[in-house]
């Protein structure tokens, strides 16, 4: 008989009652308490189910007031490692304030944890209450601390030490008329199964799929409090990312022509071989500008998403029309996490959006900032489903179709750098079909198979040929492990007359079919052939290994070591093939953070565009200083230097291919995400 644990809080006593159930654990409201400041706030609690909190906050000063529930009768917290979050129903009276914050005291924010030096900045979310009953689900992963105060400031709630749940408001003079009912702990039947002799587990609840194998196309750190599927409440979410670098290369002027001083020159942008994102030699040592603003409006089931993006900043640059991407994505997302009951559910994106497959980093595209299988760029749909086979095994599958809304126009006789480049031939109507299936083992390891194919089907002139690019392979990804974050994958790209293919997915630094041809087969080739690739990355934290993932998340001094590399084997029977048969990139990085605001970083890169020609090889040595407001924060300024050791045949990237590459690079870069 399946059982769950009901946590009953009553007059300071706690009992664990085992009873038949197949839902989340309800929490008794009998032991609810009120708390308030001492500046004149008045509160009164009535009832036990629902609770009604009434009163008014003082008109000035540091005011607060709320109601809470404790989880135990002693100072010992509960271990919620297998719990998913908190659920509750709420409504307000006609004259009551609509704004409240739900928060969960844990071992790092409650004085009973013995850790905090500036306590009570609990992890929580602000939500809006209506005059109708609305049920809210609050996943622990969405809870955040308030900014600007509190110590420590870990990046996530400590699920192993939870003391209770509270609802409060801090608006001076606010009238409070709040009713609460139906408080539940989500996912606690997993704990009951273990207590009754079931299998182990730990980590997130079975069935967690992390937004599908393509990343779910959601902003990192999404803190929007969304009501559950049965709620009509809608909210606005705003997230973003920016990276703004200043880069100055130091090189020679000997290639500028007669009468020009051949001595030292300063260049911005720098004339370096690895500075162009669409060049295979790109290392991401000094990433370019990127700004992304993400707006979403919706509830727990459906949301509209609009993404604005640019890879240049007009005021500090020339007005590059191509770099101002404008509305870069626009789509509707549907989330049905319980479509299959407790076993799993699905999400569905419909519109113009991007999926990301083969990302070496936990949150990003890794040290080389590229995708092994592909980032999709079409209008269409993708469905991501997950199903818990056991407590430790979850099946994940993605499937999608799409098409390019438009292709770059090719106007005979008109070529300008401010117009989109369509390649050697007019791009055709391009379509995308992709499928992925994976197995999540526990909450750390995912092994997956991938297949993406893009093609044209509209050749209408005698000299036009339809083309196709297919990418297949498998990968394994390890995240948030004591042994570090790791990735390894193998892919095979099968390219057949790719010049008219308009880039429904980008992979391995190549956006369009002509770009893939240039990177791997040579600029005079047809681009027909195969590319076999191995991409690997591993990042190891010394302190996380020593103290464990539950005790260390970056909140203190640490040494982080990373190793990464990519190898490509290219085959083609094309007589015009002029590319390299094998290509190799290797790198390593060490980051030391001795202070909460200060870090030092050293990175080394070896780039061999053709392993049979050492004259094209270059090395990059890059020491940097990192400045942050605190450990594990969302913003940083990096001040660095890179020294290039270039072979005799190394040339800068576009548009400086005919010039001598710089040997020194000075850089300062500010970045932040929210």
Predicted confidence at residue 72, as pLDDT, reads 64
Judge whether 227 lies within some domain.
Answer: no
Predicted confidence at residue 417, as pLDDT, reads 66
Selected residue with higher pLDDT from 474 and 200: 474
Selected residue with higher pLDDT from 654 and 631: 654
Question: Are residues 181 and 310 both part of a single domain?
Answer: no
Question: Are residues 461 and 608 both part of a single domain?
Answer: yes
What whole-number distance in Å separates Cα of residue 288 and Cα of residue 275? 8
Neighbour-count burial for 621-639, b at 16+ CB within 10 Å, e otherwise: ebebebebeebbebeeebe
Summarize pLDDT for 488-514 with one digit per residue, the tens. 999 999 999 999 999 999 999 999 999
- Is residue 28 predicted with pLDDT exceeding 90? no
Mean pLDDT over residues 210-228, rounded? 57
Predicted confidence at residue 148, as pLDDT, reads 82
Selected residue with higher pLDDT from 385 and 18: 385
- Owning domain of residue 424: 235-673
Question: Are residues 295 and 427 both part of a single domain?
Answer: yes
DSSP output for 370-425: --SSEEE-EEEEEEEEEEESSSSEEEEEEEEEEE-S------TT---TTS----SS
Question: Are residues 389 and 440 both part of a single domain?
Answer: yes
Angle at 429 between CA 425 and CA 431, to 5 degrees: 120
Mean pLDDT over residues 426-430, rounded? 91
Question: Are residues 176 and 283 both part of a single domain?
Answer: no
Summarize pLDDT for 60-104 with one digit per residue, the tens. 888 999 999 887 655 568 888 878 889 999 999 999 999 999 999
Question: Residue 515: phi, psi to the nearest 5?
Answer: -70, -40
pTM of the predicted model over 0.85: no
Provide the percentage of residues in the chain whose pLDDT is more than 90: 58
The structure tokens listed for 550 are 């539950």
Summarize pLDDT for 150-173 with one digit per residue, the tens. 899 998 999 888 888 999 999 999
Q: Cβ(361)–Cβ(477) under 8 Å?
A: no
What whole-number distance in Å separates Cα of residue 135 and Cα of residue 88? 6
Summarize pLDDT for 523-553 with one digit per residue, the tens. 999 999 999 999 999 999 999 898 887 667 6
Judge whether 201 lies within some domain.
Answer: no
Quote the number of domains for the chain: 2
Q: Model confidence at 46, in pLDDT bands (50, 70, 90)?
A: confident
What whole-number distance in Å separates Cα of residue 332 and Cα of residue 501? 27
What whole-number distance in Å separates Cα of residue 627 and Cα of residue 64? 34
Predicted confidence at residue 207, as pLDDT, reads 37
CATH number of the domain that residue 523 is part of: 2.40.170.10
Between the alpha carbon of residue 161 and those of residues 57, 359, 471, the distances in Å are: 30, 32, 45
Predicted confidence at residue 255, as pLDDT, reads 66
Judge whether 230 lies within some domain.
Answer: no
Q: Cβ(367)–Cβ(284) under 8 Å?
A: yes
Q: Model confidence at 5, in pLDDT bands (50, 70, 90)?
A: very low
Predicted confidence at residue 284, as pLDDT, reads 95
Q: Cβ(140)–Cβ(104) under 8 Å?
A: yes
Q: Model confidence at 253, in pLDDT bands (50, 70, 90)?
A: low
């Amino acid at each position: 008989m399946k059982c769950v644990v009901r946590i009953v809080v009553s007059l300071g006593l706690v009992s664990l009652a085992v009873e038949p159930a197949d839902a989340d654990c309800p929490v008794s409201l009998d032991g609810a308490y009120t708390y308030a400041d001492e500046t004149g706030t008045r509160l009164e609690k009535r009832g036990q189910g629902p609770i009604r909190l009434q009163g008014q906050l003082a008109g000035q000063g540091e005011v607060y007031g709320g109601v809470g529930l404790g989880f135990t009768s002693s100072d010992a917290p509960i271990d919620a490692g297998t719990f998913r979050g908190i659920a509750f129903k709420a409504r307000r009276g006609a004259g009551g304030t609509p704004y409240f914050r739900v928060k969960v005291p844990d071992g790092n924010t409650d004085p009973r944890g013995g850790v905090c030096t500036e306590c009570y900045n609990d992890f929580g979310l602000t939500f809006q209450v209506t005059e109708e009953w609305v049920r809210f689900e609050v996943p622990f992963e969405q809870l955040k601390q308030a900014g600007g105060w509190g110590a420590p400031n870990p990046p996530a709630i400590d699920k192993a030490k939870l003391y209770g749940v509270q609802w409060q408001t801090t608006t001076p003079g606010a009238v409070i008329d709040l009713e609460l009912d139906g408080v539940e702990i989500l996912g606690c039947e997993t704990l009951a199964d273990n207590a009754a002799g079931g299998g182990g587990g730990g980590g997130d609840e079975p069935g967690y799929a992390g937004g599908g194998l393509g990343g779910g196309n959601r902003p990192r750190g999404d803190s929007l409090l969304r009501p559950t599927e049965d709620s009509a409440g809608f909210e606005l979410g705003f997230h973003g990312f920016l990276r703004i670098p200043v880069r100055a290369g130091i090189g020679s002027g000997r290639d500028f022509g007669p009468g020009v001083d051949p001595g030292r020159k300063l260049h911005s942008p720098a004339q370096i071989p690895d500075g162009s994102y669409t060049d295979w030699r790109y290392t991401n040592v000094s990433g370019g500008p990127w700004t992304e603003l993400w707006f979403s409006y919706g509830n727990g089931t459906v949301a509209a998403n609009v993404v604005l993006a640019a890879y240049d900043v007009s005021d500090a640059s020339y007005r590059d029309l191509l770099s101002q991407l404008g509305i870069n994505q626009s789509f509707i997302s549907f989330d049905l996490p319980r479509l299959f009951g407790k076993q799993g559910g699905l999400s569905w994106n419909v519109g113009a959006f991007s999926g990301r497959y083969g990302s070496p980093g936990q949150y990003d595209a890794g040290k080389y900032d590229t995708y092994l299988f592909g980032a999709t760029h079409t209008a269409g749909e993708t469905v991501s489903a997950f199903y818990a086979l056991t407590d430790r095994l979850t099946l994940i599958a993605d499937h999608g179709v799409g098409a390019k809304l438009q292709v770059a126009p090719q106007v005979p006789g008109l070529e300008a750098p401010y117009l989109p480049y369509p390649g050697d031939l007019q791009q055709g109507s391009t379509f995308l079909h992709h499928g992925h299936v994976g197995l999540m083992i526990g909450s750390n390891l995912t092994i997956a198979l991938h297949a993406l194919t893009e093609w044209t089907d509209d050749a209408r002139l005698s000299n036009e040929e339809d083309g196709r690019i297919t990418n297949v392979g498998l990968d394994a990804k390890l995240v948030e492990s004591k042994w570090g974050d790791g990735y390894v994958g193998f892919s095979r790209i099968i390219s057949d007359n790719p010049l008219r293919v308009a880039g429904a997915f980008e992979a391995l630094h190549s956006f369009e079919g002509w770009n893939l041809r240039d990177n791997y087969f040579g600029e005079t080739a047809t681009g027909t052939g195969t590319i076999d690739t191995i991409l690997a990355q591993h990042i190891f934290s010394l302190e996380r290994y020593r103290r464990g993932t539950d005790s260390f998340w970056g909140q203190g001094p640490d040494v982080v070591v990373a190793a990464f590399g990519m190898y490509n084997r290219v085959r083609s029977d094309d007589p015009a093939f002029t590319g390299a048969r094998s290509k190799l990139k290797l790198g390593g990085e060490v980051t030391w953070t001795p202070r909460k605001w200060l870090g030092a970083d050293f990175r080394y890169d070896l780039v061999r565009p053709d392993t049979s020609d050492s004259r094209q090889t270059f090395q990059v040595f890059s020491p940097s200083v990192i400045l942050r407001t605190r450990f594990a924060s969302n913003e940083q300024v990096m001040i660095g230097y890179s020294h290039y050791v270039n072979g005799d045949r190394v040339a800068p990237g576009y548009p400086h291919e005919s010039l001598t590459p710089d040997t020194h690079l000075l850089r300062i870069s500010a970045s932040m995400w929210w």
